[in-house]
Amino acid sequence: MKAKYFFFLLAVYFFTIELAHASATISRIAEDHFCLRWSAARADSIRILQVTDLHIGISRSWEKTWTTMERVEKLVELCRPDIIAVTGDLFTGEKKDSEALSAFARVYFDRMQIPWFFTFGNHDPEGGQGREPIRRIFAGSEWGMMGSHNPDTGRFKCDYRIDVFVDQAPIPVWQVYAFDSGSERGNRSIKKNQLEWFRAQSQKSREEFKTIVPAVVFFHIPLQQYHDLWHDSTLVKSGELHETVCLEEDDGSVYQAFLDQGNVQACFCGHDHDNNYWGKYHGGILLVYGHVTGDGGYHRHWPPGGKLLSLPLKKGEIGVKDIVLE
């Protein structure tokens, strides 16, 4: 299928989908800070659909991209999420298609009228576009959230915070921290200055709201503790492991930084298509692998799908459920 014909079909098909009726408003407080407020009374939780490793545009295989985006639409229809989290490797495109795919992805997710956010994966900057064109295109989104605090790393990364409010409550029910876990060799992990930013944001939140707001963290590359969780026989896990944990350059310090702040309740990653497990590690933080969503990457042990995450509005455990379309 030629690229021009493919994009035409996508436009005709996806621009005619039935739109959701959202009751949320999104405000940009700063380049690295968003406010998401739900104006209608919620149920007992905030529902987040995590999709990961879509790899649209890989090797210009448009049929795989087509079935992948159909799957995302069906997952949204089935799960009716409040938020969509795209945890990296949305793209693996060729240079000539990269900006077109970025623009398509922005319009595609916006048409659902559901708040969504994106974290960079190691493959997303490929295809010649790098980070900046994706950030610039996504910055024009009506329903998407993507920011940057411009850390002085010599390499561009995007990290940001989302405060989630319900009704007119003055204090967020949850906070979402989105991290760019890097791509280039020597930069494939969450780095020290990014953790300094996280500590500063956590302190700022405590001062503003006079309490510790529970937080969840999304990124692409797993932490050292994902490996340790699976191999610790004293810890309870759900799901399966079928490949070595590809933690790249993480040295274990990121988890400790999250633990030290006392606000992080769970971490969600992608990257390893054939790992699909979750459990609480020492210190009580829940570690969760996303469920590979795309047809453009490997998945030998289960069909692609998504993860439905439920963040309780009152007391209770975070819900995690694999969603696979038969």
Per-residue pLDDT of 200-222, as tens digits, reads: 999 999 999 999 999 999 999 99
pLDDT at 21: 47
Amino acid at 13: Y
Is the model's pLDDT at 127 over the cut of 80?
no
Q: Which of 128-137, 233-242, 304-313 has the lowest mean pLDDT?
A: 128-137
**What is the percentage of the chain residues whose pLDDT exceeds 70?**
88
Cβ count near 128 (within 10 Å): 13
pLDDT at 132: 85
Q: Which residues of 160-193 are buried (b: 16+ CB within 10 A; e: fewer)?
A: bbbbbbbeeeeebbbbbbbbbbbbeeebbbbbee
Per-residue pLDDT, averaged over 249-258, amounts to: 98
What are the chain's domains? 25-324 (3.60.21.10)
Is the model's pLDDT at 20 over the cut of 80?
no
What are the helix (H) ranges across 80-128?
98-110
CA distances from 34 to 25, 162, 165, 181 (A): 10, 5, 11, 20
Amino acid at 261: Q
Tell me, rounded to whole angstroms, the distance of Cα 216 from its chain centroid: 11
pLDDT at 19: 46
Which SS3 state, helix, strand or coil, does residue 160 take? strand
Is the model's pLDDT at 38 over the cut of 70?
yes
pLDDT at 2: 55
pLDDT at 258: 98
> What sign results for the dihedral spanned by CA atoms 5, 8, 12, 14?
positive
